[in-house]
Amino acid sequence: MQIPVEGFMYPNEVELQWSVLIVLYPFITGLVAGAFILASLERVFRVQAVKPTYRLALLTALSFLLVAPLPLQLHLGHPERSLEMYLTPHRSSAMAMFGFVYLWYLMAVLLLEIWLDYRYEIVLRSQTESGWKGLVYRALTLGSSNVSERSLHIDERLGYFITLIGIPSAFLLHGYVGFIFGSIKANPWWSSPLMPIVFVFSAMVSGIAAVMLLYMLSTRLRGKQIDMRCLDTIAQYLMYTFIIDFSLEMLDLLQRIYEADESFRSLDFMVHTRLWKSQVIIQILLGTVTPIALLGLTQVLKFSDMARKRIYALSGCLTMIGIFAMRWNVVIGGQLFSKSFLGYTSYKMSFATREGLLTAIALMILPFVILWVLVKLLPPWPESEHLSGSAAAPAHGTS
């Protein structure tokens, strides 16, 4: 265990406990919450412009939510015991309670909403498709093939209600992850009442950017025309959310610098040395200031459709990198300094081990594989909706 230590660290602190997989986990749940908030923009806040991305956002959220427990399972010393969290949850533990928040969000919000929204297509396909696909659709109908106008109307009303409670549920899902870190008084880099809020806003930013990029990519792959009004609206929401997120993070930083408490010298040194590249260069300059500036430019100056698309794509990619860097700086950064404030260690990320870089890359690719399967099963494209029979299926957003 030859990990170079600078200064003094408590002997048991030298080896990092939470690896890149634990960086991945808040990143993934953040995408879930953010994608769902984007979907709710249309459903609850009647922002008609983003309707083309509604179903895609929901499926994206589901793909990532299904992958979310995997980095945790791979990290555990005894993953075979993980059911204990549901059987004997320790009510004072944020981690234990999160198991139920996750379950609630998966079952009562996301799966239910997707099922209700797609039920007409599911019933139709269960009657027309054959083979294993038909089997899947028939199972999804739960044996009920009623698609009368009133049943669909009930579905729509219920779906609205679920999205309504889904918004605070999405905030709870990712705010909770923030609380898991923010409630640790032993670690001054994490301990902050702002942590859940910063996590929620950065989650929204990453989720919106992810759906925006996926929408652009999938439309391009299908050879269709991008709805610019939709894209412009999404980019606008991305910018405003990002400004709020950045302000919160800067507020935390400014307060720390001003108050300069016991931990400040040590943390300041850490940011200036070990976290310089990942925090100042990648997260702040490249990953936050640049996208905000680019998006701000599109609001102030007039660009052609092609130019705007390129700017949005660039901003989206930089945003995703920036938010990942933020998770890295929180999780890894919080373990690089000693709780004695007298020293630092290093993170030696392995490559092909259970908690290595290769595993992290595989876990990031997996949601897109799942999304591909979901998109084949339940096409989210606007033109597919016409197949459902516009007369029978009431449009969203109408009471």
Partner 1 sequence: MSSIIAAWKNLGYQRALRNFGRRTRRAGIGSHLFKDIEHLVRLAAVMAIALVAFVLLRAAVVPHSFGQYGHYRGAAIGEVASRPIAFAGHETCEACHTDVVEQKKLGKHVVVACEACHGALAKHADDPSSVHPKKLDTAVVCARCHEANSAKPKGFPQVATADHSGGLACDTCHQPHRPKIETEKTETAKMVTEGKK
Partner 2 sequence: MDISRRRLLVLLPAAAVAWKFVLAGTPDAAPNYKLSEHWWAMLIDIPKCIGCGSCVRACAEENDVPEGYYRTWIERYHVADWKIERPEVESPNGGKQGFPAHAEDGGKNFFVPKLCNHCVDSPCTQVCPVGATFVTPDGVVLVDKSYCLGCRYCVQACPYGCRFLNPKTNTAEKCTLCYHRIVKGLTTACCEVCPTGARQLADLKNPKDPIHEFLRTHTVQVLKPHMATGAKVFYNGMDGSVR
Q: In the complex, which residues of this chain contact partner 2 (CB under 8 A)?
A: 1, 8-13, 15, 17-18, 72, 75-79, 81-82, 84-85, 88-90, 92-96, 99, 180, 183-187, 335, 338-342
Q: Provide the minimum distance between the beta carbon of 115 and partner 1 in the complex, in angstroms, as a whole number.
A: 8
Q: Which does 12 bind (CB under 5 to 8 A by kind): partner 2, partner 1, none?
A: partner 2
Closer of 2 and 148 to partner 1 (Cβ): 148
Distance CA 196, CA 174 (A): 7
Among 1, 87, 301, 352, interactor with partner 1 by CB under 8 A: 87
Q: Provide the minimum distance between the beta carbon of 17 and partner 2 in the complex, in angstroms, as a whole number.
A: 4
Q: Which does 184 bind (CB under 5 to 8 A by kind): partner 1, partner 2, none?
A: partner 2
User: What is each CA distance from 105 to 33, 111, 176, 374, in whole angstroms?
Assistant: 10, 8, 12, 18
383 binds partner 1 (CB under 8 A): no
Closer of 87 and 221 to partner 2 (Cβ): 87
388 binds partner 1 (CB under 8 A): no
Distance CA 367, CA 363 (A): 7
Q: Provide the minimum distance between the beta carbon of 392 and partner 1 in the complex, in angstroms, as a whole number.
A: 12
Q: Which does 144 bind (CB under 5 to 8 A by kind): partner 1, partner 2, none?
A: partner 1
Euclidean distance between the first and the last CA atom of the chain, given in angstroms as a whole number: 63
Among 86, 100, 276, 303, interactor with partner 1 by CB under 8 A: 86
Distance CA 19, CA 258 (A): 31
Contacts of range 40-47, beta carbons closer than 8 Å, 24 or more positions apart = 40/163, 40/166, 40/167, 40/170, 41/237, 42/396, 42/397, 43/159, 43/160, 43/163, 43/396, 43/397, 44/160, 44/163, 44/164, 44/167, 46/397, 47/233
Q: For residue 205, what are the β-bridge partners?
A: none
Residues 113-172 interacting with partner 1 (rule: CB under 8 A): 115, 119, 141-144, 146, 148-151, 154, 158
Among the listed ranges 80-88, 284-292, 324-332, 374-382, the one in contact with partner 1 (CB under 8 A) is: 80-88
Closer of 18 and 115 to partner 1 (Cβ): 115
Count of CB atoms situated within 10 Å of the CB of 284: 20
Number of residues that bind partner 1 (CB under 8 A): 21
**Please, is 148 exposed, middle or buried when counting C-beta atoms within 10 Å of its C-beta (0-12, 13-18, 19+)?**
exposed
Count Cβ neighbours within 10 Å for each residue of 25-48 and write b for 16 or more, e otherwise.
bbbbbbbbbbbbbbbbbbbbeebe
**Site residues, partner 1 (CB under 8 A):** 83, 86-88, 90-91, 107, 112, 115, 119, 141-144, 146, 148-151, 154, 158
